[in-house]
Amino acid sequence: MRNIYYDIYEDLRDKILDGVYAYQTYIPSESRLTKMYECSHNTIRKSISVLMLHGFVQPVRGKGVLVIYRPERRANFVLGDIETFKEAAARNGLVAQTRTLLFEHVRADAHLAECTGFMPEDELIHLERVRIFDGKALIRDESFFLASALSGLTAEIAEDSVYAYAEGVLHMKIVTSNRTVNVDFATARDRAVMDLLDFDMLAVVTNHTFNEQGVMFESTQSRHRPDFFTFHDTAVRGY
């Protein structure tokens, strides 16, 4: 048993995904939902705010809570949420695979600290991985992890999933992630290890991830072949 508000959020979200509550229709009112789920009105409001922040609904004062989500126009890669490579691949039903090209311990110097956002002298694990879909290397990740936050990390674990290890074994909770999307020229290294065809530019996602302790433990640059890249996001003005 978890949080009440989160269970309600998931239930409402699934009903929207299944079309029980259709696009441009209203979900039941707050007062009805409090009776349906037998909880307080504040708890319902919390659930609805999560639905709103994920772009599923738009509350309209005096009228109701309108569904503004349409299943058909959904992105095929990254969502406005933190998602593991394995999670994203599984959700899209792709045959995915990771190859680790580099695994080394380094100490951050001034330049590296500037690039990654870590502090000089931080002990880091430098990781280079290629993500393979249906035999084609489409994504190249260059990551730096804070060694003190990921003790025991090995190349074999990285080959599987760093996040699964951090959450499952180390019981770390991943919370906030700042991401920046850019478009950049492909480097010689990109061409050497990825299946780039004739593409000379890549979509680059740079992200800094914080755990529940508020420590930044990851700085990753993810370089995607453009034809397989999509980034989705929901913004709410003033909220």
Partner DNA sequence: GCCGATTTGTCCGTATGTATC
Partner DNA sequence: CGATACATACGGACAAATCGG
Q: Which two tokens stand for residue 77?
A: 């890669």
Segment interacting with DNA, rule: CB under 7 A, options 30-38, 128-136, 147-155, 188-196: 30-38
Reduce the DSSP state of residue 154 to 3 states and report it. Answer: coil
3-state secondary structure 66-121: EECCCCCCCCCCECCCCCCHHHHHHHCCCCEEEEEEEEEEEECCHHHHHHHCCCCC
What angle, 0 to 180 degrees and rounded to 10, lies between the N-to-C axes of helices 41-53 and 4-17?
50
The only residue of 28, 30, 39, 55 in contact with a copy of itself, by rule CB under 8 A: 55
For position 32 contacting DNA by CB under 7 A, the verdict is yes
CA distance 214 to 161: 21
For position 92 contacting a copy of itself by CB under 8 A, the verdict is no
Instruction: Give the number of residues in contact with DNA, rule: CB under 7 A.
Output: 26
The answer to whether the beta carbons of residues 125 and 105 sit under 8 Å apart is: yes
Residue 154 or 182: the one with the smaller Cβ distance to a copy of itself is: 182
Instruction: Find where tokens 């020229």 sit.
Output: 185
Residue 115 or 215: the one with the smaller Cβ distance to DNA is: 215
Residue 62 or 93: the one with the smaller Cβ distance to DNA is: 62
For position 161 contacting a copy of itself by CB under 8 A, the verdict is no
Q: Which of 125, 139, 209, 206 is nearest to 172 (CA)?
A: 209
The only residue of 24, 61, 95, 185 in contact with DNA, by rule CB under 7 A: 61
Residue 24 or 151: the one with the smaller Cβ distance to a copy of itself is: 24
Q: Determine whether 104 is exposed, middle or buried from the number of CB atoms within 10 Å of its CB (0-12, 13-18, 19+).
A: exposed
The only residue of 112, 196, 203, 220 in contact with a copy of itself, by rule CB under 8 A: 203
Contacts with a copy of itself, residue ranges (CB under 8 A)? 6, 24, 50, 52-53, 55, 58, 60-61, 66, 68, 70, 73, 75, 80-82, 117, 173-184, 199-203, 208, 210, 212-214, 216, 226, 229-239
